[in-house]
Amino acid sequence: MPNPDTPAISVRGAVKQYGALQALAGVDLDIHQGEFFGLLGPNGAGKTTLISSLAGLVRLSAGEIRVMGHEVVRDYREARRKLGVVPQELVFDPFFSVRELLRIQSGYFGIRRNDDWIDELLANLDLSHKADINMRALSGGMKRRVLVAQALVHKPPVIVLDEPTAGVDVELRQTLWQFIRKLNRDDHTIVLTTHYLEEAEELCGRIAMLKQGRIVALDSTPNILRRVSQRALQIRAAGMPDVLPTFLAEHLLARESGVLQLRFDRHAEIEGLLAAVRESGALIEDIAITQPDLEQAFVEIMQENSR
């Protein structure tokens, strides 16, 4: 039984240098067992380097990474057994059927007679009807499902999903997330990188944001939203004056085509904002309250760190 206090993933002082390029610049991070964790950042932030180092495909210039307590260089075999990685690229062997590929993958981990679990994976990923089809004959979305099955065939406690839904259809996304949520409820640790920030906002309990090889934000998803984003009152009105009254100007976030975005901190302020719009002579046609989202938070954090 693993010690529940041992981090699923522990990163200490991770540095990776490619000549003059520093891909990782001293990353420290603990991901707890059972978390659904988001790893976000723009292209070139260091996410793929960190994942490759985690999987033992890239050796750090300095620092260390552990998976369930096993250091990924000195104890590579055990660290790799604890980890399943779904890569971003569609990498597959074109000479085997889906079932043959999963049996071979099981063999890499010394697992025999794994067909019961393979059948369960195929059913949960809606691949049962493709089990005996050659990999070359599958669509891109089906190939991505097989990559997920490959990563899970040895039942790893830690699963890394690197852009798992990039370029795939809505049906696959729903099927995949339904299964991944089930695995997370069964105490598997999930680490997700994605450019679909609405996915991260919905799924991840905690998020780290990387920029230029450094962590620039690390907190629970609700705290990140509260820290950098604001709710806004959106008002569409006819006859809005070109120069807004001072009170409205002080609360203005954006203005475009007869629509005002006005910030507020407490719901009690809304009536005052509406009254100020009416007093300006404008006719209110529609109102809505917009909630902060992770995309807005991400942009603000990245801009803040650029400054």
Identify the band that residue 30 occupies on the pLDDT scale cut at 50, 70 and 90.
very high
Residue pair 65/10 in contact by the 8 Å Cβ criterion: yes
Mean pLDDT along residues 208-230: 87
pLDDT beyond 60 at 229: no
How many other CB atoms sit within 10 Å of the CB of residue 230? 16
Dist. CA 30–CA 188, nearest whole Å: 15
Q: What pLDDT, on the 0 to 100 scale, is given for residue 258? A: 84
Q: What pLDDT, on the 0 to 100 scale, is given for residue 264? A: 83
Tokens of 198: 């609405």
Burial track 238-266 (b if 16+ CB lie within 10 A, e otherwise): eebeeebeebbeebeeeeeeeebbbebee
Please, is 206 exposed, middle or buried when counting C-beta atoms within 10 Å of its C-beta (0-12, 13-18, 19+)? Answer: middle
C-alpha separations of 146 from 90, 127, 136, 152, 154 in Å: 10, 8, 12, 10, 14
The pTM of this model reads 0.81
Question: Under 8 Å CB-to-CB from 178, ≥6 apart: which residues?
Answer: none
If we measure between CA atoms, which residue out of 64, 60, 68 comes closest to residue 84?
A: 68
Mean pLDDT along residues 96-121: 92
Structural Rg of the chain based on CA atoms: 24
Q: What pLDDT, on the 0 to 100 scale, is given for residue 159? A: 96
Lowest-confidence region among 83-87, 168-172, 298-302:
168-172
Percent of the chain clearing pLDDT 90 (strictly above): 54
C-alpha separations of 35 from 189, 278, 300 in Å: 5, 48, 25
Which amino acid, residue 99? R
Domains of the chain: 9-226 (3.40.50.300), 230-291 (3.30.70)
pLDDT beyond 80 at 66: yes
Dist. CA 301–CA 305, nearest whole Å: 6
